[in-house]
Amino acid sequence: MDKVSEQAEDEFCREIELLARLHHRHLVALRGFCIGKRERFLMYEYMENGSLKDHLHTPGRTPLSWQTRIQIAVDVANALEYLHFYCNPPLCHRDIKSSNILLDENFAAKVADFGLAHASKDGSICFEPVNTDIRGTPGYMDPEYVITQELTEKSDVYSYGVLLLELVTARRAIQENKNLVEWSQEFLTSESRLPELVDPSIGDSFNFDQLQTVVTIVRWCTQREAVEGEESEGTEGRGRTSKGKMHRGEMIFHSGDGRCLASSSSTSRSYCSRSFLLETGSPQSPPGIPSI
């Protein structure tokens, strides 16, 4: 840091504190740090293949294969599941984007940069909306968070949806003055046009069933209109809500702005099932409830 502002100092210390106790195979590991005079350095484990942003947006780079992109999506979902449900206290990352996804020698993805991370209010897995300063990166930020200034784990879920679109299209979150989510709508609403979303550099070498699944998850993560679903049937489970509705049984969570994700018994709407992401079926898009 050239100038150590109070805000930068807070972010630096927060990241050291968090990374010193966060341990997951898809979170970048902190090896050390430096605080000397006005110098502030964080030293991470070496990530041989740099950032996802480098691979998607640097001209001349060999394009990532479709399967590598799918695996990166699964890796990031694993990291978010851990942050939201299994670390103590649970965390919202608040800045999920391609430049904060680092790739090791095997292209395994790890989430980095916890300077904006925010812990749940009382240390429980119930993220009650909390008013915060608007922080994040344009194009990845949840519109509901921007409008209400109320932070929940849904902010990360929206950003994850944008990241999925970025993986599929290799377009930036904001490109040609157009938001990626808005740009994609004409393709997302037509199954016949879904292949047009795919990064032209990989041609036809993608799995259409997986593309349908990824697109369905993108819709769930970024949908803004309220969704009213029917009470699902099945074994009752226990879960949580965040300004929204919870249905028992299949644990379908309906958020205040209508974004929803199917969940396992141990997680909520922000859970992005690894097995589901790799399913080769053709799930129904919202507002229909998927059959898994």
Q: What angle do CA 243, 123, 28 make, to 5 degrees?
A: 100
CB contact set of 262 (below 8 Å; sequence gap of 6+): 250, 251, 252, 271, 273, 276, 289, 290, 292
Token pair, residue 56, equals 């998607």
* Cα–Cα nearest to 286, from 232, 243, 227: 227
Q: Is 122 a catalytic residue?
A: no
End-to-end CA distance of the chain: 48
* Distance in angstroms (rounded) separating the CA atoms of residues 133 and 109: 29
CB 280 within 8 A of CB 207: yes
Active-site residue, selected from the candidate residues 75, 95, 142, 257? 95
Whether 218 contacts 209, CB under 8 Å: no
Q: What is the widest separation between alpha-carbon atoms in the chain?
A: 61
**Catalytic site positions:** 95
